[in-house]
Amino acid sequence: MKNILEAPFMVEMVRTATNMYAHGWDERNGGNISLRLNEDDVDDYIDVSKVIRRIPTGFRAPALVGEYFLVTGTGKYFKNVQYDPAANLGIIRIATDGETAELIWGYSDGGQFTSELPAHLMSHVQRMKVDPRNHVVMHCHPANLLAMTYVHDLDERAFTRTLWQMCTECIVVFPDGVNVLPWMLCGTNEIGEATAEKMKTARLVVWSQHGIYGAGRDLDETFGLIETAEKAAEIYMKIAHLPRLNTISDDAMHQLEVRFGVKARDGYLD
Ligand code: 2HA
Ligand code: ZN
């Protein structure tokens, strides 16, 4: 068996959590990541027939039976992931009942997966339907996106258009826009279901007064998605109280669609 701490997916996960912490998106135990793995990636490093513990997830996800996920631990600090991956991360497999997580590596101090597992797994189910190559769901608390939910209309079209107008690249990076949930109690199946519903039409879902969810094919892409939206929100928060003399027009957005071969969300451009 090879050393799992040297597995490319593990190295990338540790680097990503560290980088997210460095960006100030994951104070204390804030944020969580789940990375869907192929069994072929995992079984070079661990004996997948050895289940360490069985942990109920509290909901059923038949579509994910047999899927493997590398998931951040509940109560764990992103800051510390790099110093002790085995305590702060775990690899689970969804058992045949669809509602039990079989721990096959990690959570070495007796811990378990993030309290936001419902939102993660339900979002994986939805994003895999849209794009079978989706492997990542990422949640964090970027300050400017959060700030924006206090002062901006939460209408999804309006919110998306404002972000698109803040940097030229936005419409290219997230042409599907940003969906928005009102404040809801976190850690519940209800917010998990609501997030997954929003994931049907966009890869970014804002949790008002809390943070954001992003989904993507790999950790880099998903990080970049959130990074771009957060940059746009930062610019908005710098200018929101100033008279706006210029903006990126809808005509300019249409030019970007053509130049970069993307299609803006239906009805979002005039
Ligand atoms: O686990 O971010 O939403 C910490 C969180 C909960
Ligand atoms: Zn959170």
Q: State which CATH number among 3.40.50.720, 3.40.225.10, 3.90.960.10, 3.30.310.50 fits the domain covering 116-270.
A: 3.40.225.10
pLDDT digits (tens, 9 = 90+) for 119-178: 999 999 999 999 999 999 999 999 999 999 999 999 999 999 999 999 999 999 999 999
pLDDT confidence of 109, banded at 50, 70, 90? very high
Domain ranges for the chain, please list them.
Answer: 1-114, 116-270
Ligand 1 atom closest to 114 (CA): 1
Report d(CA 185, CA 236) in Å as an integer: 27
pLDDT digits (tens, 9 = 90+) for 230-270: 999 999 999 999 999 999 999 999 999 999 999 999 999 99
Q: Report the residue among 20, 77, 139 best suited for mutation to probe ligand 1: largest number of ligand atoms under 8 A from its CB.
A: 139
**Distance, CA 29 to ligand 2 centroid (Å)?**
9
Beta bridge pairs of residue 178 = 204
Report d(CA 178, CA 195) in Å as an integer: 12
**Distance, CA 139 to ligand 2 centroid (Å)?**
6
Residue 78: helix, strand or coil by DSSP? helix
Q: What is the pLDDT of residue 267?
A: 98
Ligand 1 atom closest to 26 (CA): 2
Report d(CA 141, CA 108) in Å as an integer: 26
Does the beta carbon of 27 lie inside 6 Å of ligand 1?
Answer: no
pLDDT digits (tens, 9 = 90+) for 178-215: 999 999 999 999 999 999 999 999 999 999 999 999 99
Report d(CA 43, CA 65) in Å as an integer: 17
Does the beta carbon of 31 lie inside 6 Å of ligand 1?
Answer: yes
Q: Report the residue among 79, 117, 141, 186 best suited for mutation to probe ligand 1: largest number of ligand atoms under 8 A from its CB.
A: 186
The two domains 1-114 and 116-270 share their CATH topology (first three levels equal) = yes
Report d(CA 62, CA 210) in Å as an integer: 29
pLDDT confidence of 70, banded at 50, 70, 90? very high
Q: Report the residue among 71, 112, 116, 212 best suited for mutation to probe ligand 1: largest number of ligand atoms under 8 A from its CB.
A: 116
Report d(CA 120, CA 172) in Å as an integer: 25
CATH of segment(s) 1-114: 3.40.225.10
Report d(CA 201, CA 268) in Å as an integer: 13
Please indicate whether residue 116 is annotated as part of the active site: yes
Report d(CA 43, CA 45) in Å as an integer: 5
Phi, psi angle pair for 216, to nearest 5°: -170, 180
**Distance, CA 169 to ligand 2 centroid (Å)?**
26
> Can you tell me the mean pLDDT for 5-29?
98
Q: What is the pLDDT of residue 194?
A: 98
Does the beta carbon of 30 lie inside 6 Å of ligand 1?
Answer: yes
Q: What is the pLDDT of residue 137?
A: 99
Query: Which one from 116, 156, 230, 234 is the annotated catalytic residue?
Result: 116
**Distance, CA 211 to ligand 1 centroid (Å)?**
9
